[in-house]
């Protein structure tokens, strides 16, 4: 009994093994992944074929390839498969004598055929009687499958192709052949006796090449080869649907997922649900002749160069800088991007709808920047001529360097007011080309009197936001509205000298450790105490605050929540004058509150200034300069969260009092 069951199990396994291997042999219906649908394999040895596309020996997918009939075996398929009723098996007797031209037609006909979609089940839709077939013959061509007739190297009609041994046009020319570019054309290798056409060159008794061709059946050495087929479509592509007027679109959609040239050109119309603009929408402008355009804000695109046709998005504040390539003597007076009028002579539609009011762009402020970099605001009286002007061949004046739009919007999504401020300056060929232009747009809500105060977190600090700092006055803590005016680090400049101003500064951002510095030339240190004080000012920055908010949104009134910057440096204490060599801010912060939404909080902040104890010449090791560094470090001091264990359960089991009765 057990032995029988074991045998049963064994045969089950064998059956599974065979059926896995035999999926292709059984060929149940249109196979979804079209495993090994190659019916004919061609051995091509010509190395001069142009592209791999040409060497693809199989006809395009879609051409039906019924399995070649093994010569001599005489095993005829019992009946046609149901799906390919109109598909006669191509036999040599039905073919015309000269088979080349129809074969070529077959090879070129299905150029419009879609490629096979491996993921989709190809469902050949049969043409209905009413629909007119798109092919002129009204039917699809039959496939050439006989290995004796396939000749992939025959590329010229009624002419002998060199070294193409299967070309039937070749007669006398065979004597010129050196080898056969196609040596074998064989049928399905999975059959036990696949048909094969072999071509080779021999030498005649006169020394000329002589063609030796034969069509025979091979014998397969594979144990699991196929002796006979009962499903003929298992090895051929399913019969393609005949394209008609009615099913062409669906066929096209079925087999096409992405092609060139089918981009969606239609502009996103969007739902006209609200009259006002919505967040991220383009804003409309009104041209002089009443045509509607789009409000552009130049921005960098694929490269850092300015893309002028970049639309500004409603309610998206942006600061973008991009470079512009200018040929100064040509573009100075003609390039619109350099002119002030380009940015001021615009009118915006207050809303999306057709009859929206037109809001002109008002000129807010014009700041002139001198060649040396100093900026003065211009008193506007409407008389100035501020168009770019070529002073000499090297310098262009009144060029727009920075544009700032401020837009006021209403809760209905309407633009109420647009103001533009401009920075004009000089552009010289030697130093400021390619020209760097800055564009900024900010949106301000209507009827908000107070300038909004920027938080750096709510409540805990957010990484990357500037520290909130202030200084103590008799009235309490005061801080600047501008979030960039806070505790800051010295920026780097081309001129690395510490004592040459003005210095650029970058705000200290929460969570980002940074370092920067400048160099001090020793020959500048003549008056030590003066240089010491000067350096200290450079390192600390102007308006050095003494208090830092412990949370990102600490109110000014809550004075206990402001942390004083502890400093250990007092220049008066030192006996001899000392030069500060480094300025380091050490900020300790901790996570506060629950584990899930922990809020970073600044616990303490310490300023460490190292000054020289010996002479500077010794410190710099004989060099004429010494480097001064300024740095900031954020140190997390939060204690790790403790796992909350439950109390160990106690065993509350008591034995009955008389459990050990006879003994105790």
Partner 1 sequence: MALRGSWIKRPRARLMYWNRPVRFWIKRSTYEEQPVVRFQYKALLMAATSLQGDFVAWSTFPLLNNMLEANLRIPAISVREEDQNQDGKLDLLIFKLQLPLKAEEQVYSVQLLLTFSYQLFRMSTVVMQSLVYVQHSSSVPGAKLFISGDLRLQQRAPLPHRGLYNVYNVSVIDGSSPFASAYDLENIIRSYQDRNLTTVLSCPTPVWTIGRAAGSPFELNAEIRYPLEVIRYPSIIVSTCASSGQLDLLMEFPALTVSSTYRPGFWETIKFAWIQYVSVLLIFLWFFERIQRFSGSCSGFLD
Cβ closest to partner 1, residue 133 vs residue 300: 300
Compose the 52-91 pattern: x for residues touching partner 1 by CB under 8 A, - for all others.
xx--x-x---------------------------------
H runs (alpha helix) in 273-344: 328-331, 341-344
Q: Interacting stretch for partner 1, rule CB under 8 A, among 102-110, 138-146, 177-185, 258-266?
A: 258-266
Q: Report the residue from 179, 325, 484, 566 that binds partner 1 according to the rule CB under 8 A.
A: 325
Residue 437 CB, nearest approach to partner 1 (Å): 14
Cβ closest to partner 1, residue 203 vs residue 272: 272
Cβ closest to partner 1, residue 7 vs residue 159: 7
In 3D space, the residue among 558, 551, 640 whose CA is nearest the CA of residue 595 turns out to be 640
CA 58 from chain centre, in angstroms, equals: 37
Cβ closest to partner 1, residue 210 vs residue 318: 318
Are 320 and 300 a contacting pair, CB within 8 Å? yes
Are 149 and 103 a contacting pair, CB within 8 Å? yes
How many helices and strands in the chain, by DSSP H and E?
Answer: 9, 26
In 3D space, the residue among 278, 347, 342 whose CA is nearest the CA of residue 316 turns out to be 278
Q: Report the residue from 258, 473, 568, 570 that binds partner 1 according to the rule CB under 8 A.
A: 258
Segment 268 to 307, residues that bind partner 1, using CB under 8 A: 268, 282, 294, 299-303, 305, 307
Q: Report the residue from 37, 247, 398, 532 that binds partner 1 according to the rule CB under 8 A.
A: 37
What values do phi and psi take at 507, rounded to 5?
A: -65, 150
Are 488 and 505 a contacting pair, CB within 8 Å? yes
341 near partner 1, rule: CB under 8 A: no
Number of residues engaging partner 1 in binding (CB under 8 A): 47
Residue 193 CB, nearest approach to partner 1 (Å): 22
Segment 393 to 452, residues that bind partner 1, using CB under 8 A: 434
Q: Which residues pair with 347 in a beta bridge?
A: 286, 360
Q: Which residues pair with 284 in a beta bridge?
A: 294
Cβ closest to partner 1, residue 1 vs residue 526: 1
Residue 640 CB, nearest approach to partner 1 (Å): 22
Omega of the bond leading into 9 within 30 degrees of 0 (cis): no
Q: Interacting stretch for partner 1, rule CB under 8 A, among 113-121, 469-477, 567-575, 644-652?
A: 113-121
29 near partner 1, rule: CB under 8 A: no
35 near partner 1, rule: CB under 8 A: yes
* Beta strands 318-324 and 435-445, pairing class: antiparallel
Residue 249 CB, nearest approach to partner 1 (Å): 19
Sign of the dihedral defined by the CA atoms of residues 495, 499, 503, 505, in that order: positive
265 near partner 1, rule: CB under 8 A: yes
116 near partner 1, rule: CB under 8 A: yes
Q: Residue 570 and residue 559: Cα distance in Å, rounded?
A: 25
Q: Report the residue from 292, 309, 500, 566 that binds partner 1 according to the rule CB under 8 A.
A: 309
254 near partner 1, rule: CB under 8 A: no
310 near partner 1, rule: CB under 8 A: yes
Q: Residue 47 and residue 50: Cα distance in Å, rounded?
A: 9
**What is the distance between the terminal CA atoms of the chain, rounded to a whole angstrom?**
62
Q: Residue 37 and residue 188: Cα distance in Å, rounded?
A: 9
H runs (alpha helix) in 278-406: 328-331, 341-344
Q: Residue 465 and residue 507: Cα distance in Å, rounded?
A: 9
311 near partner 1, rule: CB under 8 A: yes
Are 162 and 176 a contacting pair, CB within 8 Å? yes
Please give the residue ranges that form the binding site for partner 1 (CB under 8 A): 1-2, 4-6, 8-9, 13, 33-38, 51-53, 56, 58, 115-116, 118-119, 257-260, 263-265, 268, 282, 294, 299-303, 305, 307-311, 313, 325, 434
């Amino acid at each position: 009994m057990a032995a029988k069951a074991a045998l049963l199990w064994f045969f089950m396994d064998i059956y599974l093994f065979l059926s896995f291997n035999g999926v292709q042999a059984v060929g149940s219906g249109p196979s979804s992944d079209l495993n090994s649908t190659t019916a004919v394999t061609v051995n091509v040895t010509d190395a001069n074929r142009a592209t791999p596309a040409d060497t693809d020996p199989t006809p395009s997918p879609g051409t039906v390839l019924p399995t070649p009939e093994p010569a001599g075996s005489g095993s005829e398929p019992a009946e046609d498969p149901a799906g390919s009723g109109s598909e006669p098996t191509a036999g040599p007797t039905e073919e015309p004598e000269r088979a080349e031209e129809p074969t070529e037609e077959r090879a070129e006909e299905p150029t419009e055929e879609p490629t096979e979609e491996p993921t989709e089940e190809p469902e050949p839709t049969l043409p209905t009687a009413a629909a007119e077939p798109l092919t002129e013959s009204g039917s699809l061509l039959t496939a050439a499958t006989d290995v004796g007739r396939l000749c992939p190297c025959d590329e010229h009609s009624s002419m002998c192709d060199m070294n193409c041994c299967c070309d039937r046009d070749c007669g006398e020319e065979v004597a010129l052949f050196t080898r056969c570019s196609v040596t074998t054309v064989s049928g399905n290798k999975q059959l036990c006796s696949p048909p094969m056409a072999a071509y080779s060159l021999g030498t005649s008794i006169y020394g000329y090449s002589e063609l030796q061709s034969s069509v025979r059946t091979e014998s397969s050495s594979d144990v699991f080869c196929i002796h006979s087929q009962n499903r003929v479509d298992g090895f051929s592509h399913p019969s393609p649907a005949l394209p008609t007027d009615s099913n062409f679109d669906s066929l096209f959609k079925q087999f096409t997922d992405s092609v060139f040239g089918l981009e969606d050109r239609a502009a996103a119309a969007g739902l006209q649900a609200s009259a006002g603009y919505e967040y991220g929408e383009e804003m409309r402008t009104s041209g002089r002749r009443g045509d509607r355009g789009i409000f552009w804000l130049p921005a960098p695109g694929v490269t850092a160069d300015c893309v002028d046709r970049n639309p500004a998005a409603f309610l998206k504040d942006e600061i973008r800088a991009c470079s512009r390539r200018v040929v100064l003597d040509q573009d100075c007076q003609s390039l619109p991007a350099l002119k002030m009028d380009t940015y001021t002579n615009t009118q915006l539609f207050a809303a999306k709808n057709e009859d929206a009011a037109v809001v002109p762009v008002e000129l807010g402020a014009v700041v002139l920047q001198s060649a040396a970099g100093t900026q003065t605001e211009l008193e506007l009286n409407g008389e100035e001529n501020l168009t770019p002007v070529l002073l000499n061949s090297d310098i262009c004046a009144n060029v727009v360097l920075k544009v700032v739009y401020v837009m006021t919007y209403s809760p209905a999504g309407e633009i109420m007011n647009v103001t533009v401020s401009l920075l004009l300056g000089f552009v010289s060929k030697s130093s400021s080309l390619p020209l760097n232009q800055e564009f900024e747009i900010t949106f301000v809500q209507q009827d908000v009197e107070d300038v909004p105060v920027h938080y750096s977190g709510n409540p805990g600090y957010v990484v990357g936001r500037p520290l909130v700092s202030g200084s103590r006055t008799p009235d309490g803590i005061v801080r600047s509205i501008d979030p960039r005016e806070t505790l800051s680090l010295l920026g780097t400049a081309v001129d690395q000298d510490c004592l040459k101003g003005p210095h650029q500064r970058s705000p200290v951002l929460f969570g980002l450790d940074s370092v920067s510095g400048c160099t001090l030339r020793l020959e500048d240190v003549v008056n030590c105490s003066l240089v010491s004080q000067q350096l200290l000012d450079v390192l600390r920055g102007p308006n050095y605050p003494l208090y830092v908010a412990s949370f990102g949104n600490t109110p000014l009134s809550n004075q206990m929540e402001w942390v004083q910057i502890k400093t250990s440096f007092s220049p008066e204490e030192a006996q001899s004058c000392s030069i500060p060599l480094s300025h380091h801010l050490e900020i300790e912060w901790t996570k506060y509150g629950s584990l899930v939404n922990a809020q970073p909080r600044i616990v303490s902040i310490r300023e460490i200034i190292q000054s020289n104890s010996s002479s500077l010449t010794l410190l710099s090791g004989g060099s004429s300069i010494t480097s001064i560094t300024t740095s900031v470090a954020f140190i997390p001091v939060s204690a790790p969260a403790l796992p909350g264990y439950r109390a160990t359960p106690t065993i509350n089991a008591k034995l009955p009092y008389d459990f050990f009765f006879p003994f105790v």
